[in-house]
Amino acid sequence: MRIALAQLNFHTGNFGDNLQKMLHAMEHARQERAEIIVFPELAICGYPPRDFLEFSDFIRQCNETAVQLAIACRDITAIVGCPTINPNIKGKNLLNSALVLREGEIIAARHKTLLPNYDIFDEYRYFEPNTAFEVVECCGKRIALTVCEDIWDIGEDPMYTVSPMDELMKQQPDLMINIAASPFHYEQAGLRREVMQYNARKYGIPLYYVNHVGAQTELLFDGGSLVVSAGGHICHEMAYFKEEVGVFESDHLTETNIHEQSGHRQELFARVGLVHDALVMGIRIYFEKLGFKRAILGLSGGIDSAVVLVLACEALGASNVRSVMLPSPFSTSHSVSDAVSLAENTGSPYDIIAINDIYDAVNNTLKPFFGDLPFDVTEENIQARIRALLLMALSNKYGYILLNTSNKSEAAVGYGTLYGDMCGGLSVLGDVYKTGVYELAQYINRDREVIPGSIITKPPSAELRHGQKDSDSLPEYEILDKILYQYIEQRQGPRELIAMGFGEGLVRRVLKLVNTSEYKRHQTPPILRISAKAFGMGRRLPIVAKYLS
Amino acid sequence: MRIALAQLNFHTGNFGDNLQKMLHAMEHARQERAEIIVFPELAICGYPPRDFLEFSDFIRQCNETAVQLAIACRDITAIVGCPTINPNIKGKNLLNSALVLREGEIIAARHKTLLPNYDIFDEYRYFEPNTAFEVVECCGKRIALTVCEDIWDIGEDPMYTVSPMDELMKQQPDLMINIAASPFHYEQAGLRREVMQYNARKYGIPLYYVNHVGAQTELLFDGGSLVVSAGGHICHEMAYFKEEVGVFESDHLTETNIHEQSGHRQELFARVGLVHDALVMGIRIYFEKLGFKRAILGLSGGIDSAVVLVLACEALGASNVRSVMLPSPFSTSHSVSDAVSLAENTGSPYDIIAINDIYDAVNNTLKPFFGDLPFDVTEENIQARIRALLLMALSNKYGYILLNTSNKSEAAVGYGTLYGDMCGGLSVLGDVYKTGVYELAQYINRDREVIPGSIITKPPSAELRHGQKDSDSLPEYEILDKILYQYIEQRQGPRELIAMGFGEGLVRRVLKLVNTSEYKRHQTPPILRISAKAFGMGRRLPIVAKYLS
């Protein structure tokens, strides 16, 4: 049997475009003599549809699109993810289904059993879990058809009380097909291969796994769809960060692991390269799906905005990314000159707009109210907010999206100005710690010096007062980022952190900074997610709380 | 048996204060000869603890606090909500439990079966549902002890497949106790009474229901704890928006419904009065729990900021609320004079800061980049952002929290400036439609004219260009709000809205405005929730989508 896996970038709620994309893939699969084409989880509507699922109009359009796809299934069977209505009156009203389509009919439907409801996942918000298990007979094969999470619950502390594949194995399937919507983070590719290999080995049958690719606001999907042999060897791995329709012959899977063969992939899958490619894709698709072409950003002469500029130029084309240097009375001369060198290296347009006159006007206006009170964080924030005001004015006048340049370390400890440098339509680096930003800069400079060395080597400074350095008020990033990683990604508390050897005073101070900055993060732009725990929809904390704060 | 219900305002993660509050209530109950004191769901840690539940340190502190409460249970039994560790390796790691404490011991634990995971609820994110049902023997009674949602699944389209009370009734309990954390919205009080009466009647035993009171960032809790007789009559209803410990004799519940007796409660429970009281409480507790005393807001001379000022004065005291009028070249003279009259009526301090000089400086700075391009939304936004910059500067310098004054109609259609009038630490009216703001103004003026009549009667205008009116770009609020209510609260799609008689063009235009403004709402402050569907944590939509847009 020949199976096509269609790893595509769907647009949430854009039923017409999603259908056209699937019809196009199906035509290609038919030409390649595929008998089955498999689309990812909830491909019909895009993943995640979120609360659109609560609208009966949305569900109706999902169903109508599935019917149109079925009508196109001439001489080919399609498997596609689609929300369907739960026929049982008890329980939630929807099921997260894999529909089997052929010759104008929905000939079978199987439903997701394990509904992820952690981190960025909210599936139990909408769907009733499946409780009935039956293989699908198709093209002379018995297929164990499951949806994403159904085959991921394999650890020693299982999150669910039932195993769909254990149930399906009672009916002796010939192969597994899993349709997925499994978002990227920098360890996901390795994890995904392990989980798929584990399943194939455990059940002793081949596994065909198809994932989404592309971006849905903050969520990135890397593709990497897989064919795994009954022996647990990876026979095929599809592209990363690219749409692809792969057609595979199921009866002759070789028991050879392509990952053991090809040492060069090690480099390809190195963490920094993955993060780089993910961010570039995330920017590109965010703009494409919103119908925008051009970006603007403030270029400070520091490393964060430098990296964002380069990534944006790769994503959108250098001519579509406009930088603005916005020196204040506290900016050093090298900040502007470094920023100019960088912009010229990328070939992207830039302007220099001094904020001094506006800064003076603000101070004069406030003079009757501030009197002789000393310069403090107020005046620092005023500078950051004037810059945001000017960038947003250019954005409004010319139709740019403003790119935010804050990194994860700053976002974590609240080192940033709300309505100032925390502005933007999209946060590019909000899930990358400062130490990771340096790694990205080195990766960008791997062949030639795009980012001037002086930008990489100078001590980080917000330059909002004379002689200011980040290290005046924050621990060194090498230490800070380690604590933040343990607290945010690994959910380690003060006791565990102190046991790891971090000083108690430092630990308490950092955790307090993180927890009391929740109110700032509440108002930040969507953050491209590249780690297993990003700020945003996957991390939900109260603003008003008194815990480690 | 005498039962105490402790309806208290807990502080998330503040274990020390929560324990002291419970010990104090317990002492009072003991003096009133209560045999049992009942605290609400997750009272130990505050509700909702959200992702703090993922920290083992947090769970450890919950357990330690429960143990300390148990030690204080001399001659009295306490029932208290607390997260506990799931002893089964399969399934999620936590249970949402009701602990029964006496003489230093945790003598029983019962766990929540029905885990709400819709709107603002995320309980299946953390908790495994209970599957075992057993009454608690206590003080000679057989108690059916359940947690909140366990007794709410009573409609014709049940969301769950099991009924905890149906199971517990097999063991012939003498009474029901339900510990709850049921957030306020303006129809919740009536709904709550109906649900509790339904349960008491259906099972033919009395019901003791205890709820939280207070505020947790955006979520408001109105209290209104209930004692319902076996006949389904409401024998006692505790205070709204106030902490209270009620002690009730369980063996002599009269079969009389206090709500049928007292016609005056109709008025008390009128929607606008409830919303008013909820918002005042929400502001007050937000400031209290964050340790702030003083608020600042921009007073435009329009109705939204007028209502916010009055609510803030009630919550914080007039002397703690500072208004700033920030006229631009486009402000009408009555805007400032109306705002001044209002501030003087409330007795709160105010300042007038013209933004003209800064506006000129911004325009001059941008002149080389804008050339002769016409005045457009850019210049409107510049004014709004200068105001925000000045308000935030005052906030930074003096330690105010800036109150946001946007209403739900504006937030819905994106009629507001990001980093401008959409700024603030707390959105007071973000869940109140414009028509509801007028109702609040009338309610505020019920005894005397606090808000000048001219503020109420003038046509709404942002005054960001000459002669501007909201009605230039938006439908009349009377119509707009009806469409928004059906779309947002009732999840009606275009087909249903058109069938209701709204014009197709108008419906499509409004829905498109709502859906394409998602990116703005992503960056708004937390919004005090007074409806069944507020913007914020209870409404989750993608920014990048193409549905009705």
CB-based contact B378 A355, cutoff 8 Å: no
- B484: three-class secondary structure by DSSP: helix
Residue A3, phi then psi, degrees to nearest 5: -115, 130
Percent of chain A at pLDDT above 70? 98
**What is the distance in angstroms between the Cα of B173 and the nearest Cα belonging to chain A?**
26
Least confident of A248-252, A453-457, B198-202: A248-252
Q: Where are the alpha helices (DSSP H) in A432-538?
A: 434-444, 453-457, 470-473, 477-488, 494-499, 504-516, 518-521
Map B86-145 to HEC letters: CCCCCCCCEEEEEEEEECCEEEEEEECCCCCCCCCCCHHHCECCCCCCCCEEECCEEEEE
| Interval A506-518 mean pLDDT | 97
**What is the distance in angstroms between the Cα of A65 and the nearest Cα belonging to chain B?**
14
Structure letter (DSSP) for residue B331: -
Residue B79 belongs to what H/E stretch?
strand B77-85
Predicted pLDDT of residue A264: 44
Q: How far is CA A471 from CA A375, A441, B235, in A?
A: 20, 20, 63
Interface test with A, best of B47, B162, B389, B535 (most A CBs within 10 A): B389
Residue type, A124: Y
- Neighboring chain B residues of A130 at a CB cutoff of 8 Å: none
Catalytic residue numbers of B read: 41, 112, 148
The rounded distance, in Å, linking the Cα atoms of A359 and A327 is: 11
Closest by CA to A331, choosing from A296, A309, A298, A364, is A298
| Interval A18-36 mean pLDDT | 97
Question: pLDDT tens digit string along A166-221?
Answer: 999 999 999 999 999 999 999 999 999 999 999 999 999 999 999 999 999 999 99
Size of interface A-B (CB pairs under 8 A): 262
Residue A205, phi then psi, degrees to nearest 5: -135, 155
* Side-chain-facing half-sphere of B319: CA atoms under 13 Å: 0
Query: Encoding tokens for residue B455?
Result: 């503020």
DSSP notation for A57-118: HHHHHHHHHHHHHHHT-SSSEEEEEEEEE-SSSSS-SEEEEEEEEETTEEEEEEE--S---S
| Interval B271-288 mean pLDDT | 97
Name the residue with tokens 């011991």.
B105
CB of B111 closer than 8 Å to CB of B77: no
CB of A122 closer than 8 Å to CB of B537: no
Closest by CA to A79, choosing from A215, A208, A184, is A208
**What is the distance in angstroms between the Cα of B316 and the nearest Cα belonging to chain A?**
17
Query: Encoding tokens for residue A207?
Result: 């596994």
Predicted pLDDT of residue A251: 79
CB-based contact B544 A217, cutoff 8 Å: yes
Residue of A62, A82, A138, A148 marked active site: A148
Predicted pLDDT of residue A167: 98
Query: Encoding tokens for residue B300?
Result: 């435009």
Beta pairing partners, A142: A137
- Is B394 an interface residue toward A (CB < 8 Å)? yes
Question: pLDDT tens digit string along A36-45?
Answer: 999 999 999 9
Whether residue A268 has pLDDT greater than 70: no
CB of A543 closer than 8 Å to CB of B526: yes
Q: How far is CA B546 from CA A15, A216, B258, B359, in A?
A: 9, 11, 51, 37
- Give, in degrees to the nearest 5, the angle at Cα A493 between B16 and A404: 110
Whether residue A490 has pLDDT greater than 60: yes
- Give, in degrees to the nearest 5, the angle at Cα A335 between A333 and A341: 105
How far, rounded to the nearest angstrom, does the alpha carbon of residue B211 sit from its chain's CA centroid? 14
Predicted pLDDT of residue B264: 44
CB-based contact B388 A419, cutoff 8 Å: yes
For residue B160, the chain A residue with the least C-alpha distance is A91
Question: pLDDT tens digit string along B500-546?
Answer: 999 999 999 999 999 999 999 999 999 999 999 999 999 999 999 99
Residue type, A277: D
- Neighboring chain A residues of B377 at a CB cutoff of 8 Å: 396
Catalytic residue at A202?
no
Question: How large is the ipTM?
Answer: 0.96
**What is the distance in angstroms between the Cα of B47 and the nearest Cα belonging to chain A?**
10
- B409: three-class secondary structure by DSSP: helix
Average pLDDT, chain B: 96
Whether residue A257 has pLDDT greater than 80: no
DSSP notation for A126-183: TBPPP----PEEETTEEEEEEEGGGGT--SSS-SSS--HHHHHGGG--SEEEEE----
> How many CB atoms within 10 Å of residue A498?
16
Question: pLDDT tens digit string along B153-197?
Answer: 998 899 999 999 999 999 999 999 999 999 999 999 999 999 999
Please, which pLDDT band fits residue B267 given cuts at 50, 70 and 90? low
Query: Encoding tokens for residue B16?
Result: 């020390």
| Interval B73-80 mean pLDDT | 97
Question: pLDDT tens digit string along A317-343?
Answer: 999 999 999 999 999 989 999 999 999
Q: Of chain B residues 307-366, which have a CB less than 8 A from chain A? A: 351, 353-355, 357-358, 360-362, 364-366
Predicted pLDDT of residue A155: 87
Question: pLDDT tens digit string along B20-63?
Answer: 999 999 999 999 999 999 999 999 999 999 999 999 999 999 99
CB-based contact A542 B50, cutoff 8 Å: yes
Burial class (CB in 10 A: 0-12, 13-18, 19+), B110: buried
| Interval B387-414 mean pLDDT | 98
| Interval B434-455 mean pLDDT | 96
Whether residue B260 has pLDDT greater than 70: no
CB of A535 closer than 8 Å to CB of A218: no
Closest by CA to B71, choosing from B106, B36, B47, is B106
Strands A234-237 and A226-228: antiparallel
Whether residue A437 has pLDDT greater than 90: yes
The rounded distance, in Å, linking the Cα atoms of A261 and A64 is: 45
Please, which pLDDT band fits residue B261 given cuts at 50, 70 and 90? low
Among the partner residues A50, A124, A355, nearest to B117 by beta-carbon distance? A124
The rounded distance, in Å, linking the Cα atoms of B544 and A266 is: 33
| Interval A234-255 mean pLDDT | 91
Whether residue B263 has pLDDT greater than 50: no
Question: pLDDT tens digit string along B327-345?
Answer: 999 999 899 999 999 999 9
Predicted pLDDT of residue A498: 98
In this structure, the dihedral spanned by the alpha carbons of residues B444, B450, B456 and B458, taken in order and rounded to 10 degrees, is: -170
Peptide bond into A459 cis (omega under 30): no
Q: Of chain A residues 247-286, which have a CB less than 8 A from chain B? A: 285-286
Q: Where are the alpha helices (DSSP H) in A187-332?
A: 188-203, 258-261, 264-268, 271-290, 303-316
CB of B26 closer than 8 Å to CB of A462: no
Q: How far is CA B414 from CA A55, A235, B535, in A?
A: 21, 50, 12
- Is B474 an interface residue toward A (CB < 8 Å)? no
Predicted pLDDT of residue B83: 98
- Is B396 an interface residue toward A (CB < 8 Å)? yes
- Give, in degrees to the nearest 5, the angle at Cα A313 between A308 and A317: 155
Catalytic residue at A148?
yes
- Is B433 an interface residue toward A (CB < 8 Å)? no
Beta pairing partners, A177: A145, A208
- Is A122 an interface residue toward B (CB < 8 Å)? yes
- Is A158 an interface residue toward B (CB < 8 Å)? yes
- Is A12 an interface residue toward B (CB < 8 Å)? yes
- A15: three-class secondary structure by DSSP: helix
Tell me which of A164 and A256 has the higher pLDDT: A164
Interface test with A, best of B283, B492, B543, B549 (most A CBs within 10 A): B543
What global pTM score does this model have? 0.97
- B442: three-class secondary structure by DSSP: helix
Strands A401-404 and A426-427: parallel
Structure letter (DSSP) for residue A533: S
